[in-house]
Structure 1
Amino acid sequence: MKTKQYLGLVIVLLGLLSVTAIKASDLLPPQMAIQEASDKLQQKLQDKAFSQNFAQVAQFVDQTIYPHTDFDKISELVLGKLWGTASSDEQARFKREFQTLLVRTYSRAFVEFKDWTVRFLPLDMPNGGNKVVVKTEVLQPGLQPISVNYRMLLANGEWKAYDIMIEGVSLVTNYRSTFSNEVKTKGSLDAVIDGLAKRNAEALAANNS
């Protein structure tokens, strides 16, 4: 994935954006779920002292995006066929470490990137449907808009994101390819999870030093 596109993806998932084009009162429930996380993160972004404490930022980002993100479904989709053959312990460990990976990545973006806006596009939402694609564009001064679409699922009365596509590239597909190759290289899913846990621990320790 190109650097510009990846950074755009990180920013959008975090919701570090000002909403334009569609009034907040006109947003539909799936769009409102995205904006709710955006509003909370934007408020914290104003506090420079808060932004300098990476551990605090990561904890807040986790708490903010978790209610609007289906990490169970994302983890299952990312592992694909490997999920069905994984033990319950491996599934739980992978979900935990993969969530940590996403949160620390987005937390770093939360600290470093601020000057973006997002535009919600009209939503095609069938009556009674429990799946929808929320289409947005990331706007940057002097650059072409970046297309970012959220795949969302209605579960227990709440809309949650389970994939994000930027310029047609899926987060789930991208990570699935990465982890599939790692399993082939390391020989087992357990070894991949161990490596991911080690990288997470090292990255968090470096950011907090």
Structure 2
Amino acid sequence: MMQRRTLAAGVAAFSALWLAAPLATAAVETPDALVKRLSADILETIKADPELRNGNIARISQVVDNTVMPHVNFRRMTSAAVGPQWRQATPAQRERLQQEFKLMLIRTYAGALKQVSDQRVVVKPLRAAPEDKDVLVRTEVHGKGEPVQLDFRLENTDGKGWKIYNLNVLGVWMVETYRTQFAQELNKGGIDGLINALASRTIAADAKTAKSAQP
């Protein structure tokens, strides 16, 4: 039971960061400052927005499209999860993969928003040189129960700002986890097979949500 609550807290914190609304800044933030600001801002946003807490998919999708993507290198995240076969995909297939992967993630983590209550994110001291372009930001989510490890991989390859491309919840890296799952679908049906599998997961998740909403 404790492990389930701990995992839920970590997933909720990740969901919070995915819904983070950016603020205008005069200069490029350091990666740890970015994670700290987004975490604090969005936890408060979720607490104040019943539609987000209730898992309103339309509302979550709107926020993700409008405010999250500037802080995520989602192309890199998707390509890393797909693995070597990404290079064989056509531009149209790559777009579909990114879209279906995003929809799946939104629906996967939507339910975790209900877990957000009194959590706060503590960012640990950054171990990186000023010239580094790829860093690890380590955090802990504090709330009920034991603190939850939640780490982020960020890159700043163009000098314009840091972007998240992977995260670690309780020692498990998200991209690597999905790469293992995706490999099974790729081996069975190739790129189109993976696209169809992701779309099917989204349909199934929507059907489950609709059923649970029935009186």
TM-score band, normalised by shorter chain: 0.7 to 0.9
CA shift in 2, pair 1:82/1:135, >3 Å: same
> CA shift at 1:33, angstroms?
2.4
> CA shift at 1:111, angstroms?
3.5
- What is the aligned partner in structure 1 of residue 14 from structure 2? 13
CA shift in 2, pair 1:92/1:47, >3 Å: closer
| 1:154 counterpart letter in structure 2 | N
CA shift in 2, pair 1:191/1:111, >3 Å: same
- What is the aligned partner in structure 2 of residue 160 from structure 1? 163
Q: Which of 118, 121, 126 in structure 1 is aligned with 2:124?
A: 121
Secondary structure class of the residue paired with 1:135: strand
- What is the aligned partner in structure 1 of residue 196 from structure 2? 194
CA distance in 2, matches of 1:40, 1:146: 18
- What is the aligned partner in structure 2 of residue 31 from structure 1? 32
> CA shift at 1:167, angstroms?
2.9
Paired residue total: 195
Secondary structure class of the residue paired with 1:78: helix
- Greater mean alpha carbon deviation, residues 127-136 or residues 194-203: 194-203
> CA shift at 1:49, angstroms?
5.1
> CA shift at 1:192, angstroms?
1.7
Show CA shifts across 1:129-154 (max 9, x none).
Answer: 1111000012233x332222101001
- What is the aligned partner in structure 1 of residue 177 from structure 2? 174
Matched, 1:74 2:83: no
TM-score, normalised to structure 1, is 0.80
* Structure 2: segments with no counterpart, 5+ residues: 18-28
> CA shift at 1:201, angstroms?
3.5
RMSD: 2.5
Secondary structure class of the residue paired with 2:149: strand
> CA shift at 1:68, angstroms?
1.3
Q: Structure 1 vs Structure 2: percent identity of aligned residues?
A: 29
| 1:147 counterpart letter in structure 2 | Q
Report if aligned partners of 1:5, 1:166 keep a CA contact under 8 Å in 2: no
- Greater mean alpha carbon deviation, residues 62-71 or residues 199-208: 199-208
* Structure 1: segments with no counterpart, 5+ residues: 17-27
> CA shift at 1:96, angstroms?
1.0
CA distance in 1, matches of 2:51, 2:88: 45
Report if aligned partners of 1:10, 1:105 keep a CA contact under 8 Å in 2: no
CA distance in 2, matches of 1:124, 1:63: 31
CA distance in 2, matches of 1:202, 1:46: 29
